[in-house]
Amino acid sequence: MRFLADVELICEECRGTRYKSGILDVRYREKNIREVLQMTAREALSFFAAKPKIIARLKVLEEAGLGYLRLGQSATTLSGGEAQRLKLAAHLTRQDNAGVLYIFDEPTTGLHFDDIQKLLGAFHKLIEGGASLMVIEHNLDVIKSADWVIDLGPEGGDQGGRVIATGTPEDIAAARISHTGRYLARALQENRPQGTSLSKISDIAGEKASALATEPIGSTVGAEPRAR
């Protein structure tokens, strides 16, 4: 089936700015609303440094690894991982998450390596508020930070979907039949970044840990995470 390409027409009145000229005439620190919405969240942190209420909201985006997004960016342009992290940012503003279970499906998708550490920090903040997390993930930095791992495999597609090993990251690394364990053993030899050891996290890992998933896991497997 063939689909026609998207067609965009520029408004003759606003010339694509989406605002009337009278609104664009209003400026704050020499920038109008259109120019502000073109800023990334990281740039806006400096621009609104004197506005604590705005800074509080923007910092949450930075903590979720979304500091590179433009303030006016359309939600339809976000990847699945970015959309999940945007929802995560909204929940980071909550003071009490006691009894709440968050489930994330590969939230590291599209993230730079440095931003993954920020994401782990955001997870840690949720846990400090009393929440529990279950994460479907293939990223080794996330897997090795989990308290309990359920490894599904041994391969992908029809050759996978079976529980290969369960336990701590160290237990998975010691499982000889686990593809995940083989790569995880190397990752555990590296120093774990300070502050990213997460309590009350369940991590579901499937297929080979050397690559991102190409097929979603069809069944949910639960386990009681241990406390560290």
Same domain, 159 and 113: yes
Same domain, 70 and 174: no
User: Which residues lie across from 40 on neighbouring strands?
Assistant: 70
Does residue 67 register a pLDDT over 50? yes
The Cα–Cα gap between 24 and 34 comes to: 7
Same domain, 47 and 103: no
Predicted TM-score (pTM) of this structure:
0.64
Strands (E), 42-140: 101-105, 132-136
Same domain, 97 and 190: yes
Total domains, the chain? 2
Q: What is the pLDDT of residue 148?
A: 95
Same domain, 169 and 110: yes
Same domain, 53 and 145: no
Same domain, 93 and 52: no
pLDDT top residue among 17 and 199? 17
Please choose, from the candidates 162, 165, 161, the residue with its C-alpha nearest in 3D space to the C-alpha of residue 143: 165
Same domain, 88 and 138: yes
Does residue 61 register a pLDDT over 80? yes
Does residue 183 register a pLDDT over 80? yes
pLDDT top residue among 157 and 227? 157
Q: Could you tell me if residue 28 is inside a domain?
A: yes
Q: Could you tell me if residue 5 is inside a domain?
A: no
Same domain, 153 and 85: yes
pLDDT top residue among 54 and 224? 54
Same domain, 46 and 105: no
What is the pLDDT averaged over residues 191-200? 48
Strands (E), the chain: 101-105, 132-136, 148-153, 162-167, 201-206
Same domain, 128 and 227: yes
Does residue 199 register a pLDDT over 50? no
Phi, psi values for residue 146, rounded to 5°: -80, 155
Q: What is the pLDDT of residues 14-55, one digit of tens each?
A: 888 888 889 999 999 999 999 999 999 999 999 999 999 999
Same domain, 116 and 59: no
- Domain CATH code at residue 45: 1.20.1580.10
Q: Could you tell me if residue 91 is inside a domain?
A: yes
Q: Could you tell me if residue 24 is inside a domain?
A: yes
Q: What is the pLDDT of residues 110-141, one digit of tens each?
A: 778 888 888 899 899 898 889 999 999 999 99
Q: What is the pLDDT of residues 75-105, one digit of tens each?
A: 888 888 888 888 888 888 877 888 899 999 9
Q: Could you tell me if residue 9 is inside a domain?
A: no
Residue numbers of the domain that contains 136: 78-228
